[in-house]
Amino acid sequence: MAKTLRVNGDRFVPMITERRIKTKIKELAQRISKDYKGKVPVFIGILNGSFIFFADLIREVTIECEIDFLKLSSYGDAKISSGNVKMLKELNCQVEGRDIIIVEDVVDSGLSMEYIMEIIMKQNPASFRIVTLLYKKEAVKSPLHIDYVGFIIPRDFVIGYGLDYAQRMRNLKAIYRLKT
């Protein structure tokens, strides 16, 4: 696997390989396809971070589905969550009566997810579940039920596979963590 990366004077080291990500996504997609058999869920991707995971995940899903996107911002260019969530793009799909699956790249403090849940629940979905590639379980502020988790990771700052550092490095094929 690729070696240490230098970004803005910070060093990042390999954490999850492209191959491990692929295998995990197949596994998640199989579980989802089985759980939603006979249904047509709506996958809602949280932009920008989830775009690569989202595209790879739904191509492994074997049931019919629809998609939509929500865009939130909370981080700015910092490495620590500001805790201040703003909506930058609203949903276009009808949520009422639908089986909603939120697709996130990473759940960190959980504040974005709480905000998203509030928006979705107000619109009476038939069901609501979350899939996240990465879960910083120790960082979550209040308990959160996540149905499909790719990898539980420490509180490290991570980049690649959709995740950015000051908007860059999203195009890395693997996931790297900040070396502290």
Identify residues 47-106 at the interface with ligand IMP (CB under 6 A). Answer: 49, 74-75, 81, 104-106
Asked if 110 interacts with Mg ion (CB under 5 A), we say no
Q: Tokens in use for 109?
A: 């403090």
Q: Tokens in use for 13?
A: 């080291």
* CB 138 to ligand IMP: min, Å: 12
Asked if 169 interacts with ligand IMP (CB under 6 A), we say no
What residues does 6 pair with on adjacent strands? Answer: 11
Q: Indicate left, alpha or beta for 31 from its phi (over 0: left) and psi (-120 to 50: alpha).
A: alpha
Q: Tokens in use for 115?
A: 């905000």
Q: Which of 108, 125, 160, 172 binds ligand IMP (CB under 6 A)?
A: 108
Examine the residue annotation and report whether 99 is marked as an active-site residue of this protein: no
Asked if 107 interacts with ligand IMP (CB under 6 A), we say yes
Radius of gyration of the chain (CA): 16
Asked if 162 interacts with Mg ion (CB under 5 A), we say no
Q: Which of 54, 69, 135, 157 binds ligand IMP (CB under 6 A)?
A: 157
Q: Tokens in use for 90?
A: 């609203």
Which of the choices ligand IMP, Mg ion, none does residue 111 contact, using the CB cut-off of 5 to 8 A by kind?
Answer: ligand IMP
When the beta carbons of 34 and 155 are compared against ligand IMP, the nearer one is 155
Which of the choices ligand IMP, Mg ion, none does residue 157 contact, using the CB cut-off of 5 to 8 A by kind?
Answer: ligand IMP
Q: Tokens in use for 156?
A: 């490290």
Out of 105, 108, 147, 164, the active site residue is 108
* CB 106 to ligand IMP: min, Å: 5
Strand ranges (DSSP E) for 17-170?
A: 42-47, 66-73, 86-89, 99-107, 127-135, 148-152, 158-159
Q: Which of 45, 49, 150, 162 binds Mg ion (CB under 5 A)?
A: 49
Distance (Å, whole) CA 110 – CA 104: 11
Identify the CA nearest to 42 among candidates 30, 53, 54: 54
Distance (Å, whole) CA 68 – CA 76: 23
Just list the catalytic residues. Answer: 108
Site residues (CB under 5 A) for Mg ion?
46, 49, 105
